[in-house]
Structure 1
Amino acid sequence: MSDCHDLSENNTFDLAVIGAGSAGFSAAITAAEAGARVALIGDGTIGGTCVNVGCVPSKTLIRTAESLHHAAAAKRFDGIETSARVTDWQAVVRQKQALVDELRQARYTDLLPRYDSVTYMEGKASFTDTGLLEVDGEIINAAKVIIATGSQPDVPAITGMEQVPYLTSTTALELEHLPASLLVIGAGYIGVEIAQMFSRAGVEVKLVSRRGLLPKMEPEIGKTLTRYLREEGVHIVTVDAYTGMDVIDGGVRLQAQLNQKELILIAEKVLVATGRKPNTDSLNLSAAGIEMLIDNGVKVDDHMQTSRPGVYAAGDVTGADQFVYMAAYGAKLAARNAMNCNSLSYDNAAMPAVVFTDPQVASVGLTEAGAKAAGYEIRTSTLTLSNVPRALAARDTRGLIKLVADRESGRLLGAHILAPEGADSIQTAAVAIKMGMTYQQLSEMIFPYLTTVEGLKLAAQTFDRDVKNLSCCAG
């Protein structure tokens, strides 16, 4: 690969981007707008994970299932009684797919003709042992390369698994008929979202994991959400190990171990939601001198550059921050660095994360454990939603807000929300952390009354006072 300033006329392209998903398009558009000649290389359905099999279809079906739950939950208001039920799940899935097709066309396929300097290529890309890029055996001359090949569901090594017709997060969202029962293995973001969605659609759901719900989140959130899901009818089981899986008459059987005793779980269908792994197997990266991580992710530095100068990587393929907006952000950064001598650094300190359960889980910054591990002396405040007027008016006080701050300076280090509208509140905390605000400054800001986000102000006030002693809007 050439050095940063060598974008000579002898190269067919200034930049080649491997992968035509969110990260790939972000990199290609960024470079094209900077005047670069770009080769965008796709393999399979254009648009990548988010629009096709991830964010868009899953959140569409989650919203559908929420309508079923909220209809029944209307009884919390005196004098109101209503209900809803699934009459045609096939129609639900077809409507979901229509939206997916529409967005893929509008946000990906139709964008390509608008960028004359982007050449789209269809084929399998890989590196030669000397570091050259090829697509289906044809060498692509490019001054710089960005790897943005995304990820795929990661399937654990459970004895007998290869004989079981298991579902992944991709195939589960394509089911046109609801199973009577579903066993979900894995209680991370994907597992809890899909488990609750199917449960609300009328499926008997067993959610099994080895570390409990959302193990990377604050323990208070995981514990509280566990209680809410159980109240809705989701059967949650924590085990020590998975020991085997096989097909039985009418379903699937999972053998697990708990406290040195055998545990048997049976369901009509099984969904494996134990995480995702980077798509790197076919790229020949190691032979080309590009270092890999233990999880087969591409190792990058703060500039998104790999161990091979001139080759960058962004998005899920790096194995970190597997959110579509971080993929787009990292790819844009990689493209700018490829064009401008690595002048920018990746910054995820104020990265918001959302789990679309109900109530929603939203987080930004450090957890309490993470802050302590980073060497901070900290203070925390925890506010239940029973202290938030919006929740009281909605007759729905499920949830809590936890803030983490540096003890000496009061600087806000983390914010963690479990609330029905938590996803739309977390960005305020993200801005506060990004700007280095203290919890005192957050507590003194003006917030609109009867909003969920006002809970952040109340949680900030909770560091130094009991908000039950305040009148409405006081502060």
Structure 2
Amino acid sequence: MSAAPHFDFDLAIIGSGGGAFAAAIRASNLGKSVLMVERSTIGGTCVNTGCVPSKALLAAAEARHVALDAGSRFPGIAAGAGPVDMPALIGGKRDLVEGMRSDKYVDLIEDYGWDLRHGTAAFSGTPEEPVLDITSADGARESVIAGHYLVATGSTPWAPPVSGLSDTGYLTSTTAMELEEVPDSLLVVGGGYVALEQAQLFARLGSKVTMLVRSRLASAEEPEVSLALMSVFTDEGIRVIRRAILSSVSRDESTGDVTVVAEVAGSREDFRAARLLMATGRRPVTEGLKLDTVGVKTGDRGEVLVQKTLASTNPRIWAAGDVTGHREFVYVASAHGALAVDNAFSGARREVDYRYLPRVAFTSPAVAAVGLTDREANGAGISCECRVLPLEYVPRALVNRDTRGFIKLVAENGTGKILGLTAVGKEAGDLAAAGVYILEAGMTVDQVANLWSPYLTMAEGIRIAAQSYTTDVSRLSCCAT
């Protein structure tokens, strides 16, 4: 009888972001020995260069915007705002990031007691006997054999190949949040969530912003989202150029300005600004891991190809988070990490279920959605009926004196079952969270229309949107709906 194989660790994790930490915590709670390998800063994208710093700066920019806009929104209120002290703003952001990194990441490693190695990881060995080689900054090498491995290396900003782009020193969503001064003018290429947030952030800090968008803003969402954001951005002085495809980029050595040549609706146009921000997506980080050595297949963008259980093509190697090429949200990465551990050590064979995954862009007003869009429902062969409720019918929006936006419901014809919810407005993310519960419960518009809802909340708008299927909401009393 052969002896059981000896492993240095039950689980070896490459990366230290949300997915990696969720996996390490779940495995530690199961009594498993865990090794985490990180080549850079502990915490991954979210806390260091993504969610936390970007939302902190967006909140600051909104505070400035509210101060400048208060007089026009609220009679009797006078306010103002001076130029932005960008070094102080960035310094405050760094302090916040360092505090959260320490409290929510670094300190947890000691609390749970797993091992940490700072260094670069790569696989060696064979598909049957994978080995993880770790090289530290001083060149020291260590080889580790684990029962299971988790690749949780995240993603990095990506820009398409455009003539001259690599020589211009363009900004990404990461480097833009380290600027020590507000650019006088800024070109933002892209129309997705990151592009939307960054464009509004810098416009509210004082930049003259122009967006170059291939199709429309938030093109994966309902068309009403694009229309609402176009109106908001126009009011805030953000110029949006649609149907723009970059041809070349150059920098003026004497002024430092960037010139972008783009095809716009079939015609050539030149755009000039102090800085250029490329917000054209992200790509998984797998280069240098030598995944092919151990039989792990990757896709065209470098993503680890995984089953719904998050197992790769090697049954001992799993992947979680952005590196899988799945939706790039930190809560997806965290769910991935815990699910992969459960499947690896208990044989649970749980699968990822994205049916009711909420998605949020933290613009102001925010954009949020859950479930199917109108187009997706029709594409799936579902006969649906939609209602779009302008926020002028939501009492909370009226008292906020901010009726920019809407709530849209997609419901199945005949049954009235709610299939999707999209919102543009203040606290739209909270509306999407409520939508998750509504969709998970399989509720109908009639059920939602007759549920309790606290008055003067944005969430009340969901109930009013449901009532709009059978009622002329313009004839409802604001306090007796």
TM-score normalised over the length of structure 1: 0.96
Deviation, 1:7, is 12
- Whichever residue aligns with residue 379 of structure 2, its letter is A
- Whichever residue aligns with residue 18 of structure 1, its letter is I
Choose from 4, 13, 27 the match for 1:31: 27
Partner of 2:153: 149
Over 3 Å counting, the alpha-carbon distance change for 1:16 and 1:8 in structure 2 is: farther
Choose from 405, 411, 414 the match for 1:408: 414
Question: Aligned partners of 1:12 and 1:129: how far apart in 2?
Answer: 15
SS in 2 for 1:14: strand
SS in 2 for 1:128: strand
**Alignment of 1:303 onto 2:309:** yes
Is the CA contact 1:363–1:426 (under 8 Å) kept in the aligned structure 2? yes
Question: Aligned partners of 1:473 and 1:435: how far apart in 2?
Answer: 28
**Alignment of 1:82 onto 2:88:** no
**Alignment of 1:196 onto 2:200:** yes
- Whichever residue aligns with residue 135 of structure 1, its letter is I
Over 3 Å counting, the alpha-carbon distance change for 1:7 and 1:461 in structure 2 is: farther
Partner of 1:219: 223
Partner of 2:175: 171
SS in 2 for 1:416: strand
Deviations 1:148-205, CA, capped at 9 Å, x for gaps? 0000001111101121111111110000111111111111111110110100111111
- Whichever residue aligns with residue 231 of structure 1, its letter is D
SS in 1 for 2:420: strand
Deviations 1:291-329, CA, capped at 9 Å, x for gaps? 222222111111111111121111000111100111101
Is the CA contact 2:84–2:205 (under 8 Å) kept in the aligned structure 1? no
**Alignment of 1:11 onto 2:10:** no
Partner of 2:324: 318
SS in 2 for 1:72: helix
**Alignment of 1:396 onto 2:402:** yes
Question: Aligned partners of 2:213 and 2:110: how far apart in 1?
Answer: 46
Partner of 1:3: none
Deviations 1:430-472, CA, capped at 9 Å, x for gaps? 1111121112211111110011111011111112221122223
Partner of 2:138: none
Deviation, 1:138, is 3.3
Question: Aligned partners of 1:412 and 1:148: how far apart in 2?
Answer: 35
Partner of 2:107: 110
Question: Aligned partners of 1:433 and 1:418: how far apart in 2?
Answer: 19
Partner of 1:134: 133
- Whichever residue aligns with residue 112 of structure 1, its letter is I
Q: How does 1:278-357 map to 2 (within 5 A)?
A: 278-357=284-363
- Whichever residue aligns with residue 45 of structure 1, its letter is T
Question: Aligned partners of 1:143 and 1:287: how far apart in 2?
Answer: 17
Is the CA contact 1:17–1:24 (under 8 Å) kept in the aligned structure 2? yes
Deviation, 1:81, is 2.1
Deviation, 1:9, is 6.8
Question: Aligned partners of 1:328 and 1:194: how far apart in 2?
Answer: 25
Question: Aligned partners of 2:376 and 2:287: how far apart in 1?
Answer: 32
Is the CA contact 2:322–2:333 (under 8 Å) kept in the aligned structure 1? yes
SS in 1 for 2:294: coil
Partner of 2:378: 372
Where does the alignment leave 5 or more consecutive residues of structure 1 unmatched? 1-5
Partner of 1:244: 248
Partner of 2:39: 43
Is the CA contact 1:239–1:256 (under 8 Å) kept in the aligned structure 2? no
Question: Aligned partners of 1:287 and 1:407: how far apart in 2?
Answer: 52
SS in 2 for 1:286: helix
Over 3 Å counting, the alpha-carbon distance change for 1:232 and 1:31 in structure 2 is: same
Question: Aligned partners of 1:419 and 1:264: how far apart in 2?
Answer: 34
Number of equivalent positions: 469
SS in 2 for 1:108: helix
Question: Aligned partners of 2:411 and 2:291: how far apart in 1?
Answer: 42
Deviations 1:339-385, CA, capped at 9 Å, x for gaps? 11143111111111110101000111111111122221111111000
Partner of 2:67: 71
Question: Aligned partners of 2:260 and 2:216: how far apart in 1?
Answer: 17
- Whichever residue aligns with residue 192 of structure 1, its letter is L
Is the CA contact 1:199–1:233 (under 8 Å) kept in the aligned structure 2? yes
Identical pairs, percent: 39
Deviations 1:78-101, CA, capped at 9 Å, x for gaps? 222211123411101100110001
Partner of 1:442: 448
Over 3 Å counting, the alpha-carbon distance change for 1:138 and 1:87 in structure 2 is: closer
Over 3 Å counting, the alpha-carbon distance change for 1:388 and 1:7 in structure 2 is: farther
Deviations 1:263-296, CA, capped at 9 Å, x for gaps? 1000011111101110011112234221222222
Is the CA contact 1:72–1:82 (under 8 Å) kept in the aligned structure 2? yes
Deviation, 1:8, is 5.3
